[in-house]
Amino acid sequence: MEQLAEFVTNHWILVTLFIVVSVALLTNITRSMGGVTPNQAVTMMNKNNAVVIDVRPEKDFKKGHIIGSKNFPASTLPQMKGKLEKFKDAPVLVCCQSGNTSADSAKKIRELGVDNAQLIRGGIFAWEQEGLPLESGN
C-alpha cells in the first residue's frame, strides 16, 4: 500500500489522466448500452414500421443516411416537439455518427413525449460496418 501511495504522489499527473480517461470510457460504455444493433433496427423498420431520426447536422445527413430517415439535428430537438408528436405511437430509432450523441438525443426525444425512442448502437459507423445501405441527398 505504501508503494501505491508513493507512486500516486510521484506520478500524480499520470494518475489524474488515468482517472479522467477511465471516467470518459465508462461514460461512453454506459451511454452505448441499451438501444438496438443495426440489424435489429432493420427488423424493426421492416416489421414494426419504426421511424429513424438522424440527429446529425444537415450537411452530414446529406452525405449519407439511413434510407427513409428523418433529419432532426440534435441542436434543434427542443424546437421539433410539434414534428416529433406525430411519432409518439411508433417505435423511434435515433442515430448519429457513432452512437454518442444519439444517447442524449433519444433521452431528449423521450422527454418531449415520444416514449418509444431508443438509439441505434454505434450509429452510422456501425450501420456501414454491417454493410447496410445508405442514401445521400435529402
- The CA distance from 54 to 80, in Å, is 13
What's the pLDDT tens digit per position in 39-70? 999 999 999 999 999 999 999 999 999 999 99
> For the chain, what percent of residues have pLDDT higher than 90?
63
Q: Is the pLDDT of residue 104 over 80?
A: yes
**E strand or H helix that includes residue 125:** helix 123-129
The angle that helices 12-32 and 100-111 make with each other, rounded to 10 degrees, is 50
Q: Is 108 left (phi over 0), alpha (psi -120 to 50) or beta?
A: alpha
pLDDT mean over 91-95: 95
Instruction: Round to the nearest angstrom and report the end-to-end CA distance of the chain.
Output: 60
Residue 50 gets which letter from DSSP? P
* Residue that wins the pLDDT comparison between 55 and 30: 55
pTM score: 0.75
Rounded to the nearest integer, the mean pLDDT of the chain is 90
